[in-house]
Structure formats: C-alpha cells, structure tokens
Amino acid sequence: MKPARTPQTFVAPVSWNDLPKGAYYREALEGELKPWFAKMYGFHLLKIGNLSAEINAESCAVSHQVNVSLAGEPMQVRADPLHLPFAEKSVDACLLAHTLSWCTDPHRLLQEVDRVLIDDGWLVMSGFNPISLLGLAKAVPFARRSPAVKSRMFTLMRQFDWLSLLNFEVLHYSRFRVLPWTKQGGKLLSSHLPALGCMQLIVARKRTIPLTFNPMKQSRNKTPVRQAVGATRQS
C-alpha cells in the first residue's frame, strides 16, 4: 500500500466542468448529499476546495457557508487547506468534495478538519472509488490523461481507518455511478452492484468519547479502595 503522504504535486481542478462529465458527477453527489444536509445544523459550514464550493447546499440548515481554497472561484477565504486559518472548535460542519483526491497529505488535512470542528461536528467526504471502472482506467496508458483517472483514489476501508484514529463515527457511506460516462450513471447497475460505483461518499461526526470500550484501560485507571488504619472487621 502506497503511503498517503506524497511529495508529488497535484493540480486540483478549478471547477467540476474541468472534469470529463464533471457536471454529471456534481449532480449525482448533490443528490446523495441532499438528505444529509437536511439533518445538519449550526452556524458555520466550511466548503474546502473549489469542487466543494460548487456543491449546492441550499438544503443545509447551516446558514453561514464559507468557501476555502488557494485559488479559483467562488472563493471567499484564500488559504491552504492544510493550514486552515480558523480557531479550534469553531466550525459546525466541513465538506470535502473530492478534496482528498488532489491532496498531498490527507492525514494532515483530516487533522486540520478535526481541529476546527466542534464536538459532534459533521464531516462529509467524497472521492473516486479505486475499485471501479475509473480505478481500472489507471492501468490503461491513454486513459491516464483524464483528470479524474489521474486523481488519488482511496478505498473506503482506508478512509475509515483514518477517521477512527481521530475518533470520528461513520454514520453513512455509499458508492454510486457504476458507469461514469452516462448521465444516469448506469442506474440499474448501480442498484445491483453499488460496490463498483465510481464515486463514494462518507458522512461522519466527531465524537468526544472513545468509540471502543477498553476494559484494561478502565481497570488501570480505577483507584483501589484501601482499608482505613485501625479499622477492624465486624463479625
């Protein structure tokens, strides 16, 4: 398995329209996000990256939505996503729409998101599925020129591991659009073979208590009860 951090430089697309069939990807992702946006609440939503900024989040109850990126439009805060200029626990939700796909250090980015999110804050991540037709296209020389194929692709299980280290609870995950070049994305195939969908989505929340119970740790922390000096046992 290749390390997540890489010295290689990636040029992220400025818009979904820079990707072949990018409008189809954006519309499909918005359809998956809509029921989850309706469940989110708070004061501040960070859309990190240019692709996140173009996602329609009108159904989200979080009124103040801020677009953060190094360049491009619509951009409101110019900043490096790996060094977010926000205080700790100041944001209610973060959207990473294919942001990890062009990130040189996904661990660092998730740590920054964890830092700025409030307790029980929402994290929404999307990306391309390596176990899909897009993933297979990486083995085809002429197909590698496509920006989508050249992007970084991580399996769901690998992303689950990253999130568990930061104590995020995954509430939902899905894969969709088996056929990336069609408007419907292969609706019939997607319903029967969702694991082969070229797009994937994760919805998680930041938790403040450990998600796994460790009885050994609890026994070490338990203070032993000592018998008082001079006390006698009553028969």
Percentage of the residues of the chain whose pLDDT score is greater than 90: 69
In a domain, residue 10? The reply is no
In a domain, residue 201? The reply is yes
On average, the pLDDT of the chain sits at 88
Q: What is the reported pLDDT for 3?
A: 81
Q: Of residues 76 and 190, which shows the higher confidence score?
A: 76
Q: What is the reported pLDDT for 118?
A: 97
For position 127, which CATH number holds?
3.40.50.150
Q: What is the reported pLDDT for 228?
A: 47
Q: What is the reported pLDDT for 1?
A: 67
In a domain, residue 202? The reply is yes
Please give the tally of structural domains in the chain: 1
Q: What is the reported pLDDT for 226?
A: 52
Alpha-carbon distances of 11 from 15, 104, 152, rounded to whole Å: 12, 10, 11
In a domain, residue 143? The reply is yes
In a domain, residue 45? The reply is yes
In a domain, residue 124? The reply is yes
What is the domain extent for residue 145? 16-211
In a domain, residue 233? The reply is no
In a domain, residue 219? The reply is no
Q: Which of 110-114, 128-132, 138-142, 204-208 has the lowest mean pLDDT?
A: 138-142
Instruction: Give the 3-state secondary structure of the chain.
Output: CCCCCCCCCCCCCCCHHHCCCHHHHHHHHHHHHHHHHCCCCCCEEEEECHHHHCCCCCCCCCCEEEEEECCCCCCCEECCCCCCCCCCCCEEEEEEECCHHHCCCHHHHHHHHHHHEEEEEEEEEEEECCCCHHHHHHHCHHHHHCHHHHCCCCCHHHHHHHHHHCCEEEEEEEEECCCCCCCCCCHHHHHHCHHHCCEEEEEEEECCCCCCCCHHHHHHHCCCCCCCCCCCCCC
Question: Residue 201: is its pLDDT beyond 60?
Answer: yes
